[in-house]
Structure 1
Amino acid sequence: MLAFYNACISPPAFSLMGIPQLEAHHVWISIPFCSMYVIAVVGNCTILFIIRAEPSLHEPMYLFLSMLAVIDLILSSSTMPKLLSIFWFDNREIGFHSCLLQMFTIHCFATIESGIFLAMAFDRYVAICTPLRHKTILTHSAVAKIGLAAALRGILYISPLPLLVRRYTYYRTNIIAHSYCEHMAVVMLSCEDISISNIYGMTVGFLVLIIDSLCIGLSYFLIFQAVMSLATVEARLKTFSTCTSHICAILAFYIPIAVSSLTHRFGHNVAPPTHILLANFYLIFPPVLNPVVYAARTKEIRRKLAKMLSWARRQVVRY
């Protein structure tokens, strides 16, 4: 046993590999990631500005969308700057406590985002199935409480993860074969018993990924029933079209995160570059896609965005 622990280390910092086996191509890989990060930041900041500036958008759906934009900004900013510093400057080192903070931020806000998607599904259910009670059920106060509940759930669910990791003293290596401090990527380096961390991580994943998606699926099943009871095809299409943006955003969030989680735990034959790219994809793709989808599918946002672009064009021409 003593010889076993002598082979382990207690690192003050970890070293992130970026995209393993593709180190020679990091500069080229950085181009799409940097482009997507810029689009995510500009797109989500634009959505927040439009919703804040337009009083007609101060409705539950758009308030939840503004929460989603804030979460996407935090999620993408928690990983992309460090990833780009690895690609451009080979800056791989991350302090132990910084690693734990990054781990908490990523998993916490991904959990909160799942809760906001569930809240948005509930909003669509109330708006379509009980439209006369929509404004009385989802008041501004109720929306704020739902957002707070989603945030508290994320904090309570995820706080034990870095606390459990903090208990580990010895690691086989300080090199994390990942581009950020993903929970299992760090835990699997430990020389100690990781069963509690593994079981708790899987439990949280089940509670968030499976239960939230089932509840969202139930909401849309009831919505579909209500839509099909409408008299005309035109009314059905018009009513269901209010849900398409939300459905696209849900698929963009849940599919990559499910594939990445399953690949990390069970896809032992999957090449490391594929797994790491998938893991980064689920953190950057939803923040990029959400503003584009909602801007393209929401008439009010399109109208306000057109006014902003027209004003900007006039200012450019003037000067």
Structure 2
Amino acid sequence: MAYFNASSIHSSTFYLTGIPAYEAIHHWISNPFCIIYFIGIVGNCTILHVIQTNPSFHEPMYYFLAMLFFADIGMSLPTLISVLQVLWFISREIEFNPCVIQMFFIHSFSFMESGVLLAMAFDRYVAICHPLRYATILTPQRIAKIGIFAILRSALPIIPLMIRLTYFPFCHSHVLSHSYCLHQDIIQLVCADTKFNSIYGLFVLILYWGFDALGILVSYIFILHSVLNIASWEERPKALNTCVSYICAVLILYVPMIGLSIVHHFAKHASPLVHVLMAHIYLLVPPVLNPIIYSVKNKKIRRGIIHLITPKGMYSTLK
């Protein structure tokens, strides 16, 4: 009976939240958010274009980089419209179906980015520990299979959670804690038994990110062991330098993710501003910093970008 009473007051509309206590200056805050989103999306699209159009980038490492930048774009675009919609005071409302779709893309691309980082760790392991077999192990066909597997692995586990949400009644407040939809946020508004979603979601989170983190750690243990066995001291920094950008990419994904998880589970009574800022950092930092890091650290990518944005005659003089 309680279930049917709850169903009768079910609403398909939710209300997004901007930055608490700063609603009066949302239109000013929207400017830096626009700039950050612009930098992230344009930066990732630019490097993707450089990798796609330049045959010299058609190598395993750059294929994996393209997957990483694609995942970054997938994390940014689903949140862009709703975040700016809230900050510009256009509307705080979001219908249930668009909310679920947005949620699906955010979580899927987040898992995909973690999986791609694992594939990149394997790429560095093969390149440093088995350089003579690199071309035979990481063939284009195998890389394509890894990419397809990363997409399916990221999307399929999310589908049961999204389907379950369509059957839940929402009898609590319909105000979400963020400017976009997250599963851990919307599930708190349900007035039914959510044990499956909670346990299954936690299981998938621990399994995927735990497995990926363990795989990355093991790969780099082997890489470090191999580099330390190199006789020449001059060769060691060169070998490790190829991993610096990758280690930065791992840190800027996992550190905000771990911070957000800690806040959600152990700081539920903290200021809403803390939750909002951590969520925005988690979604904005990787897409913005990844293209910057790889543009700075990777000389080949940097030259490709310069070649793209400068006239041909001027570029030849810069070389």
| TM-score interval (norm. to shorter) | over 0.9
The aligned amino acid for 1:50 is V
Is the contact made by 1:15 and 1:94 (CA closer than 8 Å) also made in structure 2?
yes
Residue 145 of structure 1 deviates from its aligned partner by 0.3
Counterpart of 2:70? Answer: 70
8 Å contact kept, 2:14–2:93: yes
Cα distance per residue 1:14-49 (max 9 Å; x no partner):
111122333223223222221111001111111011
1:102-251 aligned at under 5 Å gives the runs 102-251=102-251
What one-letter code is carried by the residue in structure 1 that aligns with 2:153?
R
Match of 1:41 in 2: 41
Tell me how far apart the structure 2 counterparts of residues 35 and 261 of structure 1 sit (CA, whole Å): 27
Matched residue SS, 1:94: strand
8 Å contact 2:6–2:169 — kept in the other structure?
no
Q: Give the aligned residue type for 1:249.
A: A
Mean Cα deviation higher: 165-174 or 52-61:
165-174
Deviation of residue 313 (structure 1)?
Answer: 9.0
| Cα distance change of structure 1 residues 190 and 6 upon mapping to structure 2, 3 Å threshold | closer
- 2:311 pairs with 1:311: yes
Tell me what 1:300 maps to: 300
Query: Hey, what's the Cα distance between the residues in 2 that align with 1:18 and 1:228?
Result: 50
SS of corresponding position for 2:234: helix
Amino acid at match of 2:265: R
Give the Cα separation in 2 of the matches to 1:136 and 1:3. Answer: 59
Report the alpha carbon displacement of residue 99 of structure 1 after superposing the two structures with TM. Answer: 0.6
1:188 match: secondary structure? helix
Contact 1:72 1:287 (8 Å CA) reproduced:
yes
Partner residue in 1 for 2:16: 16
| TM-score normalised by length of structure 1 | 0.94
- Output the amino acid matched with 1:58: H
> CA 1:104/1:7 → structure 2, altered by over 3 Å: closer, same or farther?
closer
**Partners of 1:7 and 1:150 in 2: CA distance:** 37
How large is the RMSD of aligned CA atoms in angstroms?
A: 1.9
Partner Cα separation in structure 2 for residue 234 and residue 3 of structure 1: 69
1:284: which partner in 2? 284
* Shift, 1:309, TM fit: 3.2
Going from structure 1 to structure 2, the CA distance change for 1:86 and 1:313 (only over 3 Å counts) comes to farther
The amino acid of 2:146's aligned partner reads I
Report the CA distance shift for 1:16/1:213 in structure 2 as closer, same or farther (over 3 A).
Answer: same
In structure 1, how many angstroms separate the alpha carbons of the residues matched to 2:9 and 2:218? Answer: 49
Shift of 1:130: 0.4
Q: Structure 1: where are the runs of 5+ without partners?
A: none
Match of 2:101 in 1: 101
Q: Aligned equivalents of 1:299 and 1:6: distance in 2?
A: 59
Q: Distance in 2 between matches of 1:115 and 1:6?
A: 39
Which shows bigger deviation, 262-271 or 94-103?
A: 262-271
Identity of aligned residues (%): 45
Counterparts of 2:45 and 2:28, CA distance in 1: 27
> 1:265 deviation in Å?
2.0
| Code of the aligned partner of 1:134 | Y
> The residue matched to 2:15 in structure 1 has which SS?
strand
1:253 aligns with 2:242: no
- Please give the alpha-carbon distance, in whole angstroms, between the structure 1 residues aligned to 2:41 and 2:251: 21
Give the total of aligned pairs: 315
* TM-score (structure 2 length as normaliser): 0.94
* CA 1:167–1:135: 2 relative to 1, 3 Å: same
* 1:266/1:97 CA distance change after superposition, 3 Å: same
In structure 2, what is the Cα distance between the partners aligned to 1:117 and 1:74? 15
Separation of aligned partners in 2, 1:179 and 1:310: 38
